[in-house]
Amino acid sequence: MRFSVIGDLPDAALFIKSIVDSSEHTLGAVHLHGALEDYLQPRFPPNARRVSTPEDVLIAADTDAVIVAESQHDDSMRLVRQASQADCHVVVIPPQELSTAYSYEIHLLLDESRCGIVVLTGGWYLPAELAAWTPVIDCQLGLPSISGDPATANTLMHAIDASAAMGFANSQVTVLGINNDRLPDDNCRIVLAGCGADGRTRPAMTLNCSHAADHGCVQGRSSEQSINERIVLPGLTDVLPGDVAMSLSTIVVQRLTDAAACQIAMEQFSRTLQVVSAVDKSIRRRRTVDVYVDELTERSVFKTQMTAIGCGLLTWLMLGMIGYLLIGQLLKPAAIVMQVMRALWIAPVVIFLLTQFLLPIARGRQRDDASS
């Protein structure tokens, strides 16, 4: 796949390195500025060509996918929208100071687009052995101290995403080590416990946020061995390990061309931002915060639709009765006409009530299938 780059976030250099090392993908038009331009200046990718504006990147003939690496929220969203409307796949390097609203907007763009959109968060950079790892007990991950620095907040977001990708819980968030000013101490701990996004109970992950912690190092045990591995977290890591560099671009391309996989990845990104928001709430409230995710299952959609239909039928009954009485008093139609009108008035209600008997039948069939 042919990639192009727009932006200033140095975190994009990790993915650019993976593209350059790949024999299957190439880098074409680039519009760099700020920290990313300074970082890549001494190691500018071969075969890439500079263009003067972001629009030149979007209209380039050799562009299949655009890497949007803008640090500002509004600029990032605007470029993602323009690239999607130009029928390009989009790889988003998360901007600073994210909120759940950002993921919702990108999710809407994904629903409307014919191309894929993925956001590169911490879980994408895991080596294969950790991505396939099944944790059985609680683990720890070292991180820098929490501060008001946007870069530190982004590192925390990547760590939370990587923790979920490794199979740890994230439905309950507790921040330990908060001072009287409701600010985290230099040696605070963030405990992610409860269950995963699938509702199953998972081992807990403790994020040790301290200057003295071994940043980026995961320590714990699996069912067979002890784990003491260093993972890639944008903001903490400048160089990708060889195995991750060779596989990252291939994995991203496979996800971009799979619509269902893009939806799953976007839901995980939204979940990650909800957990990050829960960390802030736990700091302010000084207690455990639950992370709720209202997933649109087939059953919940059906119940929502039936509720809306029921409300509509109540309105139909009221307005239909008024219309029936007015027509009978003012126009004096024949008796057969009045009977037909009564049938038309009450028929939708009868049909709606009859459909409610389908639920016990469906439950019985579901039990029969489960028993067989």
Q: Which pairs with CB-CB distance under 8 Å and at least 24 residues apart come from 54-58?
A: 54/6, 54/79, 54/82, 55/82, 56/29, 56/31, 57/4, 57/5, 57/6, 57/29, 57/30, 57/31, 58/82, 58/83, 58/86, 58/88
Query: In the numeric block, which tokens belong to residue 74?
Result: 């509004």
pLDDT, tens only, 25-83: 998 899 999 999 888 888 787 788 899 899 999 888 888 999 999 999 899 999 999 99
Tell me the CATH number of domain 2-120, given options 1.10.357.10, 3.40.50.1110, 3.40.50.720, 3.40.1370.10.
3.40.50.720
pLDDT-based confidence at residue 370 (cuts at 50, 70, 90): very low
Domains 2-120 and 124-240+261-290 in one fold = no
pLDDT of 119 over the 50 cut: yes
What's the average model confidence in pLDDT over 350-371?
63
Structure confidence at residue 237 (pLDDT): 81
pLDDT at site 302: 66
pLDDT tens string 209-237: 888 888 888 887 766 667 788 888 988 88
Rg (CA), the chain: 27
Per domain, the residue ranges of the chain are: 2-120, 124-240+261-290, 299-371
**Nearest-angstrom CA–CA distance, 204 and 291:** 14
Q: Check if CATH label 3.30.360 holds for domain 124-240+261-290.
A: yes
Please determine, for residue 130, whether its predicted confidence score (pLDDT) is greater than 80. Answer: no
268 touches 161 (CB < 8 A):
yes
pLDDT single digits (tens) 175-190: 988 776 666 777 788 9
Q: What is d(CA 370, CA 2) in angstroms, rounded to the nearest whole number?
A: 48
- Residue range 295-314, pLDDT digits in tens: 544 555 667 777 888 898 88
Cα–Cα distance for residue pair 248/256, rounded to 1 Å:
12
